[in-house]
Amino acid sequence: MTAVLPSRRPEWLKVRVVDNESSRAVAALMERKNLHTVCQEARCPNIFECWGVERTATFMLMGDVCTRHCGFCAVAQGTGKPLDPEEPRHVAEAVVALGVRHAVVTSVNRDELADGGAAHFAATIGEIRGLAPGVTVEVLVPDFLGSEEALAAVLHARPEVLNHNTETVERLYRRVRPDARYPRSLELLRRASEFRDRRDPSMKVKSGLMVGLGETLDEILVAMRDIRAAGTDVLTVGQYLPPHERRLRAERYYTPDEFRFLRAEGERLGFSRVESAPLVRSSYHARSALAQSGN
């Protein structure tokens, strides 16, 4: 699995820019509501497609500064600001204004908060339910430092999708996610799956992996098996692309055929839906993935 990385990105990693009135309208709405999106903060390669064509955005709660120090992420790192109590309502208002049918909500890590921001997630789900009945909600949550109570607060708000990204293989955690723990992420997925089985059979549990950080194919397959064994329904697999030069470099570019192989392996493992392609990200085509996985 080792190869010399080409100086230029291959054709399958080139992004089509759709900077139009729709994408500018989404940006203006976020600014008016004082909201942040992971689309902007993480420099997602699909932002123009999602904003300019599908008119969807992934809302990022609790500010734009993360308390962790992941080696792959473009989000600013440092001390978080006080939570905005109006943010859950503003997110719901933006959901209504955008006319989305599937709302995706994530956050920075706020490890200094007693519940890691779980109550803020739950409040946001509640506001979306109140202002936009019928809209399905997907939350991409941090690990809450392993707090079962924090996770339960989010689960009891009944999102249609509980997503937590495993991100990488176990061997690379110390370098890629120094403040996280591979077993802790798997335990969160297991707890969410147990809640689904006991209380909410229609809820989907979802996770995602990045490839190209120096892992081997065998390690990816082990991680996929671990994630599935935790009860996860939906898996996303995409190519890691450094957001800027101060973050970890990509060790290699996987080919479309390799992503198709990983999709087939995921389906063989029993995932109800596998999104595996070079530019796949956690919330890419999230609504269609939810629909095709059983909702």
Domains of the chain: 14-207 (3.20.20.70)
Q: What is the dihedral of CA 195, 39, 57, 280, to 10 degrees?
A: -60
Per-residue confidence (pLDDT) for residue 247, from 0 to 100: 80
Q: Which pLDDT belongs to residue 250?
A: 93
State the amino acid at position 56 in one-letter form: T
pTM score, whole prediction:
0.86
In the predicted model, is pLDDT for residue 177 greater than 50? yes
pLDDT band at 252, cuts 50/70/90?
very high
What pLDDT score was predicted for residue 51?
Answer: 45
pLDDT at 64: 86
What would the pLDDT profile of 46-102 be if each residue is shown by its tens digit?
Answer: 444 554 445 556 888 998 899 999 988 878 899 999 999 999 999 999 888 888 888
pLDDT for 140 equals 95
Query: For residue 131, what pLDDT band results from cuts at 50, 70 and 90?
Result: very high
Residue 38 tokens read as 């992971």
Average model confidence (pLDDT) for the chain? 86
Q: Taking 50 as the threshold, does the pLDDT of residue 136 lie above it?
A: yes
pLDDT band at 38 (very low <50, low <70, confident <90, very high): low
Cα separation, 106 vs 109, whole angstroms: 10
- The per-residue pLDDT for range 216-245, each reduced to its tens digit, is 999 999 999 999 999 999 999 999 988 777
Mean pLDDT of 114-127: 98
**Confidence grade of residue 35 (pLDDT, cut at 50, 70, 90):** low
Instruction: Determine the pLDDT at residue 2.
Output: 43
